[in-house]
Structure 1
Amino acid sequence: MASIDPAALPAVAEPDVDALAARVADADRVFVVLDDDPTGTQSVADLPVLGAWDVEDFAWAFASGAPAVYVLTNSRSLAPESAERINREVVRAALRAAERSGIRVDFVSRSDSTLRGHFPLEPDTIIDEVRRAGGTHIGNTVVVPAFPDAGRITIDGTHGVLADGAFTPIGETEFARDSTFGFTASRLADWVEEKSGGEIAASDVVQITLATLRRSAAAVADALRSAADGVPIVVDAVVEEDLIQLALGLEIVEAEGRSFVYRVGPPFVRARIGQRLREPVDVDGLTADRSVRGGLIVVGSHVGLTSRQLAHLVDHRDLAVVELEVPRLLEAHTAADEVTRVIDAVSTALLGGDVVIHTSRTLVRTDDPAESLDISRRVSQAVVDIVHAVAERRTPRFVIAKGGITSSDVATRGLDIRRARVRGSLFPGIVSVWEAADGLAAGIPYIVFAGNVGDDTSLTAAVARLSATA
């Protein structure tokens, strides 16, 4: 762990975000964001979100005139073969809808700011599917995992977590020990080599550092041009202005005919389309007046921060707590009874006030990544079944889903959300507020709360803002 002195870094540039937004608006182009869990939307506002990807779904999103559309692939919870298949399906449908609508689409592979996910599989699949369709040649993958709003930054090619002025390289955090997507490298070029199994040498990766980003957009463009075809480009970022400067450099070289696919953390899209950071959503009046008094909080994430947030919530709010006991869920002879028990308990408790349902906090895992993923999927399916059954009986005042995979499964399968719109964030730059256009959540706020953002009190604050008993 090292301290960071902002004064020792190059001076922050002052890029013209309004000029960038104007250029994006004038272009007949939409960025299609394949979001491997829904938490990517926490950095943007007023954009459509798709929980399904038929051509007609894309046509609905493109008709909005928005510069970007998010597609919930939930691929981080899937095996590589399934992730590849879904990426191909999304690209295929988007290209067909774009041809019908007479627009150009570029693709963003949105993933985790702590480097967990199917890399390089997903961006490589997008590139290949565009090639098969006879689309624009995509020369490079641009890797930008930084999420400054949540303290995830990249300096001199090394990615890490910034907290209280101390910088911890990402390879030294709990995220690097993920049972499915674990890694050791903190330097992004080394991480690319590690995740590609050595097929891409770290020495070949092009790095765009703060020194380049903060010099000028022209300098960024020169660095982008220097990348040979097929070579990944990794980018520093510490503040929002760094991402905007990158976007301006990309605009320059894309106007010259180059195309990229982006593998990025949440705020990249906001910067790429020139959208300013918005004030948090005003939730007054957002919750419909319903006979059911309580909201539903679903906690599936097991990262340490989520467990601390859950503990704080339980200690500081008057609400019902229902635990889904995962060991019982994984036993064939007790699984159905456990699901039924939780459905009944939650449905009854909602009549009296807010209810939190959480999976047992002891993470059941194995040394086999595929088996760990299977356990996660079985637990997710139970959560989906519970939420769906509860919402069919009585609609909560609001739903908060805690954890990336959890929030995707709850949205698309638990609440049948096929089309929605991001209203904005609940707190500055983090925690999405969605307005569902269909499904069991139509008319109530759906809150997408990543497992690894905020502080120990943030979940409590979110419930307090939305609750009838605030």
Structure 2
Amino acid sequence: MTAVVIIGDDLTGSNATGALYAMSGLQVVTVADVATAHRTADVDVLVFNTESRHLSARDATAQVESVMDFAAQTGAQIVKRVDTTLRGNIATEVTAGLATLRAKRQSGRQVALMVPAFPASGRVTVGGRQLVQGVPVARSWAATDPFTPVRTSRVAGLFADQPVRTAEIGLEELDDRLAERLAVAAHDADVVVVDAYSDEDILTVAQAAHRVGLDSDLEWLVVDTGPFGVALCANRGLGGVRTEQNPLVLVVAGSLTDQTREQLDRLISATDTALVTVDAHLDTPDKVVDALAEAVAAGRSVVGVRTAPVTGHPNAVDAELTLQFLAETARAAMTRLEPAGIYATGGDVAMTVLDALGGDGFRILSEVLPLAVIGEVSGGPYDGTGLATKGGLIGDADAAVLCVAALQQASRHSADVTLVDPATQEGK
């Protein structure tokens, strides 16, 4: 049964948001209209592209009302995807969607919860205002958009001409009382706008919003740019677990760069990854793999190890000891956990892992991003195991997410391939 219905206003944004859910292991299909949705096989996430960003307010309203009428009958979590720079008929579409949802629901209270930040893309919300790379959005290039120029940076200001009440929750209010604040705001307003500056903020809001939904008859109409909806679904137990659609990936991170730390933190927030911080002087491979096995048993689809920060300058002896520890841990993890692929980041880590697995070489398949490559172990007992490699100074904040997603996609594709006997033309 469809668990999430996303309503986007353009194809690029709709698919980009759908991809975030797919990275969590959910099956996602994008459709253009309700008729197609009825013909679509049952999927976890159904994404509608209404192509309404540049339509008149009247036509955009009609498009959203039609989709919302369908979505309200599914019982799914409904997400209104909006542009990170606030372009389009946002206020009109959210207001129309909320009114339709309320008309279709027989009980409870429906409120739009708007969290438009996308920190990994440099879009944050501070003081109720949307910033793009630190610049108020109404002073950015979005202000000169030829179709829907953005006139205000204040998110709630978008609704000034709409028959809805708004409330705002700032960064300083993302504390232990956030769930209480959300409940009060939802009682008094139709649209609640919440600040977020980091991925951690988004996770905090998602956890609080989920608690409010559990403790009341309140239903959120999620309004976001992608990451908040995924985080809220994770709190509901959707995605992020090991399934046939979401095969296990082992992370082996030996790089000590700030860039790698940022990428791993992003991986944790985006995919519910479980990483164990290891110290070759204090830990043992068996102890570490025990912890990884517990995470796998709990349903995690991405598990792995990262090295502890080093005080002072690292020396060659410690570096060699760490590499040997990672090699032994990777070998033990492969034996016990049987992951579909390994993501290795750090200068010498990939070769160390390859040697530890007894591989003869690395079979290159494709490039995930510049200087980050996905392939397979060639030869040895783990021949064909997926392997993605990346240097510690390569890629932006999403690099680890992209590499892990590429490994999972390659594994799914491999599992779907049917071998055919040329003599019989039958699948074996």
Which TM-score applies when normalising by structure 2?
0.51
Residue in structure 2 matched with residue 158 of structure 1 by the alignment: 129
Pairing 1:211-360 to 2, within 5 Å after superposition: 211-213=172-174, 215-216=175-176, 218-255=177-214, 256-274=216-234, 275=240, 276-278=269-271
Which AA in structure 2 matches 1:175? A
Which AA in structure 1 matches 2:173? T
Deviations 1:383-433 (A, max 9, x none): xxxxxxxxxxxxxxxxxxxxxxxxxxxxxxxxxxxxxxxxxx995668999
User: SS of 1:120's equivalent?
Assistant: helix
Matches of 2:109 and 2:196 in 1, distance apart? Answer: 23
**Is there any run of 5+ residues in structure 2 with no aligned partner, and where?**
235-239, 241-268, 274-301, 303-340, 344-363, 368-396, 410-416, 418-428
Pairing 1:4-403 to 2, within 5 Å after superposition: 30-37=3-10, 38-44=15-21, 45=23, 46-47=25-26, 48-54=28-34, 57=37, 60=40, 63-64=42-43, 66=44, 68-96=45-73, 98=74, 104-162=75-133, 167-193=134-160, 196=161, 205-213=166-174, 215-216=175-176, 218-255=177-214, 256-274=216-234, 275=240, 276-278=269-271
Which AA in structure 2 matches 1:89? S
Deviations 1:52-77 (A, max 9, x none): 4446735745x34x3x4322222213
User: SS of 1:189's equivalent?
Assistant: helix
Matches of 1:151 and 1:259 in 2, distance apart? Answer: 29
Does the aligned pair in 1 maintain the 2:155–2:193 contact within 8 Å?
yes
Residue in structure 1 matched with residue 374 of structure 2 by the alignment: none
Does the aligned pair in 2 maintain the 1:225–1:253 contact within 8 Å?
no
Instruction: Supply the RMSD in Å over aligned alpha carbons.
Output: 3.8
Matches of 1:117 and 1:259 in 2, distance apart? Answer: 25
| Per-residue deviation, 1:147 | 0.8
**Is there any run of 5+ residues in structure 1 with no aligned partner, and where?**
1-27, 99-103, 288-424, 436-442, 444-470
User: SS of 1:206's equivalent?
Assistant: strand
Does the aligned pair in 2 maintain the 1:143–1:264 contact within 8 Å?
yes
CA distance change for structure 1 residues 94 and 219 in 2, over 3 Å: closer, same or farther? closer
Pairing 1:402-413 to 2, within 5 Å after superposition: none
Does the aligned pair in 2 maintain the 1:127–1:138 contact within 8 Å?
no
Residue in structure 2 matched with residue 10 of structure 1 by the alignment: none
Matches of 2:152 and 2:210 in 1, distance apart? Answer: 31
Deviates more, 1:253-262 or 1:176-185: 176-185
| Per-residue deviation, 1:136 | 4.4
Matches of 1:188 and 1:77 in 2, distance apart? Answer: 19
Does the aligned pair in 2 maintain the 1:49–1:72 contact within 8 Å?
no
Matches of 1:191 and 1:161 in 2, distance apart? Answer: 17
| Per-residue deviation, 1:234 | 0.9
| Per-residue deviation, 1:153 | 0.5
Which AA in structure 2 matches 1:154? T
Does the aligned pair in 2 maintain the 1:221–1:250 contact within 8 Å?
no
Does the aligned pair in 1 maintain the 2:82–2:225 contact within 8 Å?
yes
Q: Which structure has the larger Rg?
A: 2
Does the aligned pair in 1 maintain the 2:6–2:80 contact within 8 Å?
yes
Which AA in structure 2 matches 1:277? A
| Per-residue deviation, 1:32 | 1.1
CA distance change for structure 1 residues 73 and 277 in 2, over 3 Å: closer, same or farther? same
Identity %: 22
Does the aligned pair in 1 maintain the 2:72–2:105 contact within 8 Å?
no
Matches of 1:137 and 1:93 in 2, distance apart? Answer: 19
CA distance change for structure 1 residues 426 and 149 in 2, over 3 Å: closer, same or farther? closer
Matches of 2:230 and 2:220 in 1, distance apart? Answer: 17
Q: How many aligned residue pairs are there? A: 253
| Per-residue deviation, 1:29 | 7.7
Matches of 2:402 and 2:194 in 1, distance apart? Answer: 22
Matches of 2:106 and 2:2 in 1, distance apart? Answer: 14
Which TM-score applies when normalising by structure 1?
0.46
Deviations 1:1-31 (A, max 9, x none): xxxxxxxxxxxxxxxxxxxxxxxxxxx9822
